[in-house]
Every structure is written in structure tokens, then in C-alpha cells.
Amino acid sequence: MPHYALTIIGSDRPGIVTEVTEILFKLGCNIADSSSTLLGGQYAMIQIISHPTIDSTAQLAAAFASLEATGLSAFVRRIEPKKWQRHEIGGEIYMISVYGSDKPGIVYRVAKELSDRQVNITDLNTKLVGSEERPVYVMMLEAVLPESIDEAELTRVLMALQGELKVDITIRSITPVEL
């Protein structure tokens, strides 16, 4: 079955998810994976969708053309058949949060320490919160530890980074639930 990456971007307002999913529902599409967030007042959504008979990015894109009138842009890209796969988590999952004064380099430094240890970042969100006078940078990420690193080592590395960046970093294990 063909899979497509659907990206929606536009000024945030209530009802965007309803509009997009209504189109998908009426087409008979299945949503395999999705993520959405608010970025500086812009709503951004990406979904991996499939349909048993639609075999054309142009056909899918045409179904979303009506969204342009509401201020949304839609982009559709076909995923090569061998490139789509269910994501298998192969390790211990951790939630890492970072809070501190806004400054360049926070995301890079944390990501660099993790990638140097083969830790896979599977989800990353950042926000600037607080007041204009006292902005606070918040980063939340989900990461999968390989067998070569344990929680103690991850904690040691991130606590050293916490001191260098003058931020607050917390780490907690997330135990997957099986249904």
C-alpha cells in the first residue's frame, strides 16, 4: 500500500486538525503516524498516511487544495515502498527536559552530547515561554539509549552540561505500556 508524507503549515487557529482529518476521512485514508506543534504562531503538522487505491501525489494534493483559501499550505510527498516502516524502539526510552535562559546553542550542545553516545532522539520540542522581560527556553526530548550507555552515564554527561550551560536538566525513564 502506498504511503505519503503530508505536511500542513499555516497560521494557528481552532479547527485545523478537524479540517485536515475530515479530508483524510472522506478520502478513506489511514493515518499511520502524525505529529503537530505550534511554532511561533504557525501550526505545523506532518502525517504519514496511506490509501489502498490512491497511487498519485497529485490526486492527494488536489484534495487539500481547498485549504489554501483558509490560509493553510499542504505538501504531499510519496514515500518509497521500502522506506516506510513501523518504528521499532530498540532500547530504553528517556524523557529529557531542559529549562533555562534563552541563548544560542542549547539544542546543539544537548544533541551533540547525545549523538556522540549514539543516543537516538525520537522526538524534540522547544518553546520560548515566560515574559518578554524574563524569557525561559524549554526543550523537551524523547531519546532512546543504546545498550552501550546506561542511565547513570547519561545523567553524568547531562549534569556536566547543565553546569556549563547554566540550565536545569531532568532525566526520567519512560516505561512503555503494552496493551
Give the pLDDT confidence of 120-174 residue by residue, as tens digits. Answer: 998 999 998 888 888 899 999 999 999 889 999 999 999 999 999 999 999 999 8
Do residue 109 and residue 150 come from a single domain?
A: yes
Segment 76-119, tens digit of pLDDT: 999 987 655 555 667 889 999 999 998 899 999 999 999 999 99
Q: Is residue 78 helix, strand or coil? A: strand
How far apart CA 6 and CA 24 sit, in angstroms, is 10
- Residues 119, 75 within the same domain: no
* CATH code of 19's domain: 3.30.70.260
pTM, two decimals, is: 0.73
Mean pLDDT on 36-54: 92
Cell matching residue 14: 481552532
Whether 137 is covered by a domain: the verdict is: yes
Cα separation, 2 vs 17, in Å, equals 23
Q: Which domain holds residue 12?
A: 3-79
